[in-house]
Amino acid sequence: MPPKHRAFIETVERLNDASGKALLFGYVRDHRERHPKLWEAFRECVRLLARFRETHLDYADRYIHQQHQRSVSNPTGVGTGGTPFMTYLKKHLEETERFLDE
C-alpha cells in the first residue's frame, strides 16, 4: 500500500467515535437529510464492499476451507497469518453489513 494511503487510513481509524463506527460514517449519517445523494453513494459503496466480502468468503470456503476438510495433506483451518480465516472473514462481513442497518 502506498505510504500516503496507509497514513490516511491510519488517521481515519484513530478518529473513530465512541460507537466504534468510523468518522466518515458519522459525518455522512449526520448530513444525510441535507445531502441524500451523499448518503446513498456511501450506502452503495458499503453494499459493494459487502458483496466483495461475501464473494471472498465464498471463495475461501470453496477453495480453502472445504479442501482442508477433505485432505490430510492440508490439516489446518488457519490462514497465513495464523487466524481461523473463516471466522475472521465472517467477522469482517458482519461489521460491514452493520453500516447498512442505520
Residues 93, 66: one domain? yes
Domain count, the chain: 2
pTM confidence score = 0.72
Give CA–CA dist 74/68, Å, rounded: 5
Residues 88, 53: one domain? yes
Residues 22, 47: one domain? no
Q: Quick check: is 37 in a domain?
A: no
Q: Quick check: is 38 in a domain?
A: no
Choose among 93, 98, 63, 99: nearest CA to 79: 63
Which amino acid is present at 5? H
Residues 47, 97: one domain? yes
- Residue 81: band (very low, low, confident or very high) from pLDDT cuts 50, 70, 90: confident
Average pLDDT over residues 21-33: 85
Domain span holding position 15 = 1-30
